[in-house]
Every structure is written in C-alpha cells, then in structure tokens.
C-alpha cells in the first residue's frame, strides 16, 4: 500500500502555514525539563530536532502556564525513581530555553505549536515545596468545582488516580480574568520563544475539561449549569489568545469521551458527552487546527485498533481536523482517505522513530522500531529519549 494521502500537502486551517505532509508529532509528556526551573534542557532541544522534518508539524508536550497549573508527576513510578520535570513557559528563563527548541525545529524546516496547559485539580499542593512554588500566591489544586479526583483502578480510566489527592477549591468567578491573563502571558512568552502556533490543551481531564464536563462542573454561575455555560471558559480563552497570537494561529485539543467506550481521563465524565462535544466543536471557528483524541488512546496501557468514534464530529467541523490515538501508518492513511481526518498525530511511534516521516515515505512505515514503555516518563539521561535511531 502506498500512503500517498499521508504524505500529501495540507493547508493548516486558517493559519499561514502549508504542511508538506500530514504526519504530525503528537504532544507527549516526557518529563525531561530542568528540575529546578521547569525550563527546557539541551537534551530536549535535541529530542525535538531529531523529530523535526521539512514542512512537518510538531506539537510540544504539555507546557504549563503557571505554578498553579503545574503538577509534580509522582503518579509515575519512573518519575519517583529517576526524576525529571515537566516544562513551563511563565518565566523568562523558560521562554529563553524554549528558543533553543524552536530554533532547532525551524532549522529543519518544521512548524511547531506550543501546547499550553493548566492541569486544574490534577496539580497538588506539593508544588509549594518546589523553589518556584515557595512564594506563589495561588497554589493548586483548583478546578471548576470542589469535586474530588476519584481513587480508581478502573481500566477504562486512562489516567486512574492511584494516590490520595487534595479536594480542589472552585475558581471564583472573579478569578477567571486572572486565569485568562495567565494563559495570555504564557502565549506571549511562547511567541517570543519562536513558536509558530498556540494550542489550547482542553482535553484529558485537565482544567478546561473539568469545566466542560458536568461530572466535575457543579457551578451555579455563568460558567456552570447548561452546556453553553460550561463551554464558556473555552470560548473566552480562544478569543483571549487570538488577541495575542492572531486569528488563525490558535488551535484546540479536545478528547471527546464516548458512552460506547466508557472512556474517562482522571475520572472526568459527562452525562451526555456527544451533545456536549457536538455543541463545543460546532462553535469552533478560524482555528489553525482542531485535534481530537480518539477514546481508544493508550494512556498508561497498550491499546488495540478500534473504530474511529470521533469521526461523527467531522460533519460539523469544516476546518483542519487532526486525529490522534492508536494509529498506525496504514490506519492513518485510511482515515485521511475516507475523510475522517485531514492529518494524523503519532505519539509512541515518534518516540522510538525520530525519523518517522522518512520511514513512512521510504517503506510505508513497515519496519518501525518498537518503543520501550519504561522510558516514556522521567529521567535525566539519553536512554529511551534521544538514543533511538
């Protein structure tokens, strides 16, 4: 099979960029930032440079907008054992170190999008013990409501919480402008760092998702109740960031859950997810792209191929639609050919195949190097990070 659709050009939504192929590097938390500063390290710049390609889109790992937004990822045993940290982009040092990353990608002709994240109730008070957290006035956890993370070993919850968590406090209505400004400051830093696009991480059980879903959002103000109110924060955030980055340069990631798959992320769910996400997606306009995570995505477990449950949103979204979650090169080609998606984001395949684009072009990706899961999260060295060839 020749993957001609996967390697064909694509105009990227309302942005000024045209990609030379549709093989996108998905955002992947790898936890290799500087442990004292949350800034990217030289090895991170090398990692992104290895995976960049001419006219290819790279989406960064989740990059945190403030100390309030930042978790200490001890949920992963490898982080507890080997160390490592997630990156931020709210300080000058973080911004300057991200410049090394964007420069490396641009030198190879790539396009790079900075994924901005506030984790909401996932961030815990132990961040106050970090040097950057000691003097912070706003510390986690915060959320849409005082709804706890359920302790879970449910196989349907891709990020089951396996340790005690602190009950989050609801963000006050009058705090929302401050939250939007935190995002705006992070976006300004990202642009100053050389990023081409800004992606809002509104998925996977993090803060925006905690506002969208009524299983968590129990608010009685303008940000709670009906679907239109629960989507308000997302829409306001898009508008806020468009003022910073320009219309067409902002993207969104969503992870529509499905009653059929019973999929959840950190225990976040909704009583009517199809109606919720249909409403949200139909209102999204002028984006660089919309990235949807298929419910089959593997978080902490391996997954097998399933049908594309999120193809139902194709008919209500007329912009560039990127799919992610469990794709092979062959299934990605089919998804583009049948119109389900315009491009496909690969995660684990990019981890172990830094030259994934070339491998797909050369032999349709039939001889890909397998990944080693134990090296996915955390660490300080090259093993399992930049030593794949």
Q: H-type helices in the chain, by residue range?
A: 42-51, 77-82, 92-107, 176-192, 207-212, 227-230, 232-245, 273-282, 329-337, 348-352, 356-363
Structural domain count of the chain: 1
* 389 residues of the chain, pLDDT tens digit each: 589 999 999 999 999 999 999 999 999 999 999 999 999 999 999 999 999 999 999 999 999 999 999 998 776 777 888 888 999 999 999 999 999 999 999 999 999 999 999 999 999 888 888 888 776 677 789 999 999 988 765 544 445 555 678 899 999 999 999 999 999 999 999 999 999 999 999 999 999 999 999 999 999 999 999 999 999 999 999 999 999 999 999 999 999 987 666 677 888 999 999 999 999 999 999 999 999 999 865 543 334 445 788 999 999 999 999 999 989 999 999 999 999 999 999 999 999 999 999 999 999 989 999 999 888 988 888 999 999 98
Query: Residue 287 is encoded by which pair of tokens?
Result: 């984006």
Residue holding tokens 């045993």? 77
Is the preceding omega at residue 141 within 30 degrees of 0, hence cis? yes
**Is residue 364 situated within a structural domain?**
no
Would strands 169-170 and 142-143 be described as parallel, antiparallel, or unpaired?
parallel
**Is residue 372 situated within a structural domain?**
no
**Is residue 258 situated within a structural domain?**
yes
**Is residue 152 situated within a structural domain?**
yes
User: Which DSSP state fits 375?
Assistant: G
Query: Is the pTM of the predicted complex or chain greater than 0.85?
Result: yes
Nearest CA to 328 among 367, 374, 375? 367
Which position among 47, 48, 159, 206 bears the catalytic label?
206
Q: Give the other-Cβ count within 10 Å of 363's Cβ.
A: 12
**Is residue 374 situated within a structural domain?**
no
**Is residue 293 situated within a structural domain?**
yes
Q: Residue 73 belongs to what domain range? A: 10-347
**Is residue 388 situated within a structural domain?**
no
**Is residue 223 situated within a structural domain?**
yes
Give the CATH number of the domain where residue 51 resides.
3.20.20.70
Query: Residue 235 is encoded by which pair of tokens?
Result: 């829409």
Q: Is 341 noted as a catalytic residue in this protein?
A: no
């Amino acid at each position: 099979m020749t993957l001609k659709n996967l390697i064909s050009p694509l105009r990227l939504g309302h942005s000024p960029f045209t990609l030379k192929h549709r093989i996108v590097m998905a955002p992947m938390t790898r936890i290799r930032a500087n442990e004292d500063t949350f800034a990217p390290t030289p090895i991170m710049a090398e990692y992104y440079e290895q995976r960049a390609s001419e006219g290819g889109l790279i989406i960064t790992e989740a990059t945190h907008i403030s100390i309030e937004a930042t978790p200490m990822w001890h949920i992963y045993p490898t982080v507890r054992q080997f160390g490592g940290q997630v990156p931020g982009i709210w300080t000058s040092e973080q911004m300057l170190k991200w410049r090394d990353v964007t420069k490396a990608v641009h030198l190879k002709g790539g396009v790079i999008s900075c994924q901005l994240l506030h984790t909401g109730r996932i961030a815990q008070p132990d961040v106050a013990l970090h040097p950057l957290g000691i003097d912070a006035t706003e510390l986690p956890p915060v959320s849409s409501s005082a709804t706890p993370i359920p302790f879970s070993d449910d196989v349907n919850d891709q990020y089951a919480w396996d340790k005690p968590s602190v009950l989050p406090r609801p963000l006050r209505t009058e705090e929302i402008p401050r939250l939007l400004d935190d995002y705006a400051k992070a976006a300004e830093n990202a642009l100053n760092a050389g990023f081409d696009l800004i992606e809002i991480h509104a998925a996977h059980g993090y803060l925006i998702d905690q506002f969208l879903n009524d299983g968590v959002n129990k608010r009685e103000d303008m940000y709670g109740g009906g679907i239109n109110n629960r989507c308000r924060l997302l829409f306001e955030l898009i508008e806020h960031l468009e003022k910073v980055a320009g219309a067409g340069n902002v993207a969104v990631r969503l992870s529509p859950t499905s009653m059929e798959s019973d999929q959840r992320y950190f225990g976040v769910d909704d009583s009517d997810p199809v109606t919720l996400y249909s409403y949200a997606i139909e209102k999204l306009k002028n984006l660089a792209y919309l990235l949807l995570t298929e419910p089959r995505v593997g978080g902490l477990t391996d997954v097998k191929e399933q049908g594309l449950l999120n193809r139902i949103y194709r008919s209500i979204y007329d912009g560039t639609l990127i799919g992610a979650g469990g794709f092979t090169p062959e299934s990605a080609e089919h998804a583009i050919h049948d119109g389900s998606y315009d491009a496909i984001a690969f995660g684990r395949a990019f981890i172990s195949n830094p030259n994934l684009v070339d491998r797909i072009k050369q032999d349709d990706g039939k001889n890909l190097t397998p990944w080693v899961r134990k090296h996915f999260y955390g660490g300080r060295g090259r093993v399992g990070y930049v030593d794949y060839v």
